[in-house]
Amino acid sequence: MEEFHWKAIESCNPTYDGHFFYALTSTLIFCRPSCASRTPNKKNVQIFYSAKEAVNSGYRPCKRCKPDCLEWQGAKNELTIQVKKYILNHYDEKLTLYRIAKEINVDPYHLHRTFKAVTGYTPLQFMHQSRIEQAKEFLLTTNQSTTEISFKVGYSSPSHFSKVFKEKTGLSPSFFRSNFHN
């Protein structure tokens, strides 16, 4: 193992992801250089230049950094993707940070902090934006009242729906419909 390998492993440097993998002879697990697991004992580290090479040598992929998945984007991005999918699939239900965290099996504080760090906005802001986008679709394609639409997209109060809609679009739901409906 060369010194740059060790420095990349010690600092969890994502720059080297895909260039090499490190395996631990003590656990028979191999990881990406960016893996957030504990820094290994240097004497237990073996370097491989492909995931296939590590697997063929008897090592199994780490469940944290998933070195065998080419499309894996890192734990923070994966968590953010999970949260977005959950919100998009359940936008019409009563959602709280705690419910989302429980469904995804993570700490609510960690979920909130990670989501905001990756996206620049909170899960609540994403939920409202998702609901408003769906409401815009309903306003343009159906004849349902704004009250019906507000309930359909997950708001329990039509006035709260109208307030959030105006904050996000600059228009009231009825003005939006009358000016953009074909």
Q: Does 35 qualify as catalytic in the annotation?
A: no
Residue 66 lies in a domain: no
Q: Is the pLDDT of residue 18 over 80?
A: no
Co-location of 28 and 49 in the same domain: yes
Please enumerate in sequence order all residues whose Cβ is within 8 A of that of 63, keeping only pairs 6 or more positions apart, or say none.
Answer: none
The pTM of this model reads 0.63
Co-location of 101 and 151 in the same domain: no
Structure confidence at residue 138 (pLDDT)? 95
Residue 103 lies in a domain: yes
Q: Which domain holds residue 100?
A: 75-121
Q: Is the dihedral of CA 13, 17, 22, 23 positive or negative?
A: positive
Instruction: Find the CATH number of the domain harbouring 23.
Output: 3.40.10.10
Residue 172 lies in a domain: yes
Q: Is the pLDDT of residue 19 over 90?
A: no
Tell which residue, 131, 116, 123, has the closest CA to residue 164. 131
Tell which residue, 38, 59, 35, 34, has the closest CA to residue 48. 59
Q: How many domains does the chain have?
A: 3
pLDDT digits (tens, 9 = 90+) for 102-121: 998 899 999 999 899 888 99
User: Which residue is catalytic, options 31, 35, 62, 65?
Assistant: 31
Q: Is the dihedral of CA 51, 52, 58, 64 positive or negative?
A: positive
Residue 68 lies in a domain: no
DSSP 68: T
Co-location of 87 and 38 in the same domain: no
Look up tokens 């734990």; give the residue: 75
* Count of CA atoms in the C-beta half-sphere (13 A) of 88: 7
